[in-house]
């Protein structure tokens, strides 16, 4: 059985396109996801629903970015290295399942899932190299603006994190659900 590690989560490529704003990441590595605390698990057998809430004290990422568009009254058009860390993230995961019978045992199958992320009293620090091509002072000022508006910027970036987590969880759950029966997960 091959379950992917969460010690380092690679993002080969992910992008977010909004009106007047493009943000693309590639060769991006996320670390810190292996250090978490499960705060709550609710299993609703009547509705075949599992809810998990987890707290991540720090998530760190590094890779390459292309950012283009108008954000916080700045005209951005850059490509290059990005380094970011974010603290105190809560992830709520809701999984809806159905049961299928195989070899006389019941197995879970994912019907749908949803990931919601939020930050609680934490900070986002981000540094994008070369925001103002060749002008280090302007690049630093632009990074300062991004970090000043870190909550709003984080809300822009959360969909990329959610998409990557969803892909990882899909792989993990498919492997687990094919290998272990419902009774293995929830013995009577």
Whole-prediction pTM:
0.84
Give the pLDDT confidence of 96-144 residue by residue, as tens digits.
Answer: 999 999 989 999 999 999 999 988 888 889 999 988 877 889 899 999 9
Q: Which of 176, 165, 184, 185 is nearest to 1 (CA)?
A: 176
Please answer whether residues 86 and 154 qualify as being in contact, where contact means their C-beta atoms are separated by less than 8 angstroms: yes
Give the pLDDT confidence of 14-65 residue by residue, as tens digits.
Answer: 888 888 889 999 999 999 989 999 999 999 999 999 999 999 999 999 999 9
Dist. CA 183–CA 104, nearest whole Å: 12
pLDDT, average across residues 78-85: 93
Please answer whether residues 97 and 43 qualify as being in contact, where contact means their C-beta atoms are separated by less than 8 angstroms: no
Confidence of residue 73 (pLDDT cuts 50, 70, 90): confident
Dist. CA 169–CA 151, nearest whole Å: 26
Long-range contacts of 173-179 (CB under 8 A, 24+ apart): 173/95, 173/110, 174/110, 175/1, 175/2, 175/3, 176/3, 177/107, 177/108, 177/109, 177/110, 178/107, 179/1
For residue 124, what pLDDT is reported? 87
Burial readout 25-38 (b: 16 or more C-beta within 10 A, e: otherwise): beebebbbbeeeee
Please answer whether residues 179 and 108 qualify as being in contact, where contact means their C-beta atoms are separated by less than 8 angstroms: no
Q: Does position 156 have pLDDT exceeding 70, yes or no?
A: yes
Query: At 175, is the secondary structure helix, strand, or coil?
Result: helix
Domains of the chain with CATH codes = 8-185 (3.15.10.30)
Q: Does position 1 have pLDDT exceeding 60, yes or no?
A: no
Give the pLDDT confidence of 159-184 residue by residue, as tens digits.
Answer: 887 888 888 888 889 889 999 999 99
């Amino acid at each position: 059985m091959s379950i992917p590690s969460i010690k380092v989560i690679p993002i080969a490529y992910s992008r977010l396109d909004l009106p007047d704003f493009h943000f693309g990441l590639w060769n991006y590595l996320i670390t810190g996801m292996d250090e978490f605390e499960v705060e709550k698990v609710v299993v609703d057998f009547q509705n075949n629903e599992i809810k998990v809430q987890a707290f991540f004290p720090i998530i760190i990422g590094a890779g390459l970015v292309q950012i283009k568009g108008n954000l916080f009254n700045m005209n951005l058009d850059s490509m290059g290295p990005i380094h970011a860390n974010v603290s105190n993230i809560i992830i709520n995961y809701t999984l809806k399942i159905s049961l299928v019978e195989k070899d006389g045992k019941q197995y879970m199958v994912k019907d749908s899932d949803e990931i919601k992320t939020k930050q609680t009293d934490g900070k986002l620090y981000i540094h994008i190299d070369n925001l103002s091509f060749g002008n280090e002072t302007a690049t630093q000022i632009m990074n300062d603006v991004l970090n000043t508006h870190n909550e709003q910027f984080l809300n822009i970036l959360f969909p990329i994190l959610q998409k990557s987590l969803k892909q990882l969880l899909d792989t993990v759950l498919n492997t687990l659900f094919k290998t272990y029966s419902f009774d293995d997960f929830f013995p009577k």
